[in-house]
Amino acid sequence: MHRIIIAYLYLAVHVATGQDMGYHPGKYPGRIIMSWNGMPETSRTITWWTDTTVTKAEIQWLVSDASSNLAEKAQNQPVTTRRAVVEGITAHFHTAHLKGLDPGSVYTYRVGKTDLWSEWFQFNTIDHEAPGLNFIYLGDAQNDMRSLWARTIRQAYTQSPKADFILHAGDMVDHSNENREWGEWFEAGGWIFASVPQVLVPGNHEYVRSSSGDSQRLCDYWRNSFTLPENGPPGLEETVYYLDYKNIRLIVLDSRDMLISEAHSKTQAQWLENILANNPKQWTIISHHHPIYSARGNRSGYDMARYLQPLYDKYKVDLVLQGHHHSFARGRKVEEVGQSKHEGPVYFVSNSGPKMYDTNFAGWMERVATDVQLYHIVNITGDRLTVKTYLVNGKLYDQIELVKNKDGSRQFREIKVEGVNERLDFSHATYGADIDTSEAYRVLYKKRALEYMKRRKARE
Ligand SMILES: [Fe+2]
């Protein structure tokens, strides 16, 4: 009887706290994620995990057909399987590379092995006839991914189901060595992750914190769970890389690594300069986790900025997509604020999860929001780039446009969103956020907010 009671209590506690949630690898494929490792326009890479009993996995794939006898028509392709112990959990990680894909097509695939298959997923290949491209950009997910972040990625996908890819600007989880957190993140993304290429940027929380608070080791989940380009500097494969797709060059940097030492900063900056100097694409977009300009009340900028920002100006980078400061800020270097013609990039700081910080209303900001979860849809069509910023409930909050002239100069325009008030509330402290909640700081915050609103009104 005692045993039954203990078992019941054990079960009750687990159900009530959500512990585990079955986020361990099993015989069926789990954590299936699509990404790019090779040529983005003609390939896809699929990565998933299982328990160690699955030693020989496969992918079956074909151009999608309306008939249901997909298995009979599909080609079977072997995949690579690697046994790894990730933060204490032993699993098999499987990777499949689909190459030579035809443009403008819908393909379908499933992964696994006999009697242990995933569902069939479908994906679209590049459409050269379509005018331009779209992608989704998301800031930090980080906390309560299952409960509170799931709606962000699902709303973003609903808004832009034909997105060419989804960019995550770092801090997808809070404790990168905790399996449960990755389990939540994968559950929230679900079949979207298996159907749209995910472009992943490492944040500080993808590094494992030691007992001294130091975080210099990339978590083991990163290189096992994701298969990303390996064209970065030696030793930084899959965290520093670039992708060429249609008329954009998208560059991912590892800002946490840059902050480890000056030598690390120099390594990435030298690599970046080469990639920027030899760039045949019309548009250049860069993403890294830590922002060039601070968006937080009590934080200054980061040292890596002095290596990167001059390169951004020199090579006329168009967009810099960042996270880390848990609010929304969009702006440019101070001299360009309010101007239509500009030389430097447009900088974004964003936040897709539930953790909220305050903002510093710094001079570089042209648009701000606090206490918001949001997502962005970037559209690039020929010589025109637009970024639409949506609140998680699907309401448009901000919209900008860059037009590139033949001589490479650019015109900037904010397209005013009518009937949307600025969201500048003083943030409630969440998830251990170290916000100064003293009365003196609240007064200062309010003063800064009023000054910011004055500057905005003056530009209208
Ligand atoms: Fe961060």
**Phi then psi for 183, rounded to 5 degrees?**
-60, -45
Give the list of residues 6+ apart from residue 286 with CB closer than 8 angstroms, or none.
250, 251, 252, 253, 312, 317, 319, 320, 321, 345
- State the distance from the centre of ligand 1 to the C-alpha of 164, rounded, in angstroms: 25
- What's the whole-number mean pLDDT along residues 86-113? 96
Q: Within a domain: residue 58?
A: yes
Residue 21 has pLDDT above 90, yes or no: no
- State the distance from the centre of ligand 1 to the C-alpha of 174, rounded, in angstroms: 9
Q: What pLDDT score does 201 carry?
A: 98
In the numeric block, which tokens belong to residue 336? 């360009």
- State the distance from the centre of ligand 1 to the C-alpha of 290, rounded, in angstroms: 7
Q: Within a domain: residue 267?
A: yes
| Angstrom distance (rounded) from CA 48 to CA 227 | 10
Q: Write out pLDDT tens, residues 432-442.
A: 778 888 999 99
Q: Write out pLDDT tens, residues 38-59.
A: 999 999 999 999 999 999 999 9
- Please tell me whether residues 115 and 173 are part of one structural domain: no
Last residue of a domain, one of 86, 101, 124: 124
- State the distance from the centre of ligand 1 to the C-alpha of 176, rounded, in angstroms: 12
- State the distance from the centre of ligand 1 to the C-alpha of 159, rounded, in angstroms: 26
| Angstrom distance (rounded) from CA 115 to CA 51 | 15
Q: What pLDDT score does 423 carry?
A: 96
- State the distance from the centre of ligand 1 to the C-alpha of 417, rounded, in angstroms: 29
| Angstrom distance (rounded) from CA 271 to CA 254 | 12
- What's the whole-number mean pLDDT along residues 336-348? 91
Q: Within a domain: residue 200?
A: yes
- State the distance from the centre of ligand 1 to the C-alpha of 141, rounded, in angstroms: 10
Bridge partners (DSSP) listed for residue 49: 30, 93
Residue recorded with tokens 């209303």: 361
Buried residues in 317-343 as b, exposed as e (16+ CB within 10 A) = bbbbbbbbbbbbbbbbbeebeeeeebe
Q: Within a domain: residue 20?
A: no
- State the distance from the centre of ligand 1 to the C-alpha of 172, rounded, in angstroms: 9
- State the distance from the centre of ligand 1 to the C-alpha of 146, rounded, in angstroms: 19
**Which of 286-295, 313-322, 336-345 shows the lowest mean pLDDT across its residues?**
336-345
**Phi then psi for 110, rounded to 5 degrees?**
-140, 155
Q: Within a domain: residue 1?
A: no
Buried residues in 19-38 as b, exposed as e (16+ CB within 10 A) = eeeebebeebbbbbbbbbbe
Helices (H), 217-304: 220-225, 255-258, 262-277
- Please tell me whether residues 145 and 108 are part of one structural domain: no
- State the distance from the centre of ligand 1 to the C-alpha of 88, rounded, in angstroms: 24
3-state secondary structure of 50: strand
- State the distance from the centre of ligand 1 to the C-alpha of 353, rounded, in angstroms: 12
Last residue of a domain, one of 95, 124, 153: 124
- Please tell me whether residues 242 and 220 are part of one structural domain: yes
For residue 88, what are the domain limits?
A: 30-124
- State the distance from the centre of ligand 1 to the C-alpha of 262, rounded, in angstroms: 20
- State the distance from the centre of ligand 1 to the C-alpha of 20, rounded, in angstroms: 25
3-state secondary structure of 272: helix
Bridge partners (DSSP) listed for residue 134: 379
User: Which CATH number covers residue 304?
Assistant: 3.60.21.10
In the numeric block, which tokens belong to residue 46? 């699929």
- State the distance from the centre of ligand 1 to the C-alpha of 293, rounded, in angstroms: 14
- Please tell me whether residues 208 and 326 are part of one structural domain: yes
User: Which CATH number covers residue 89?
Assistant: 2.60.40.380
- State the distance from the centre of ligand 1 to the C-alpha of 195, rounded, in angstroms: 27
- State the distance from the centre of ligand 1 to the C-alpha of 359, rounded, in angstroms: 15
In contact, 258 and 265? CB cutoff 8 Å: yes
Q: How confident is the model at residue 427 (pLDDT cuts 50, 70, 90)?
A: confident
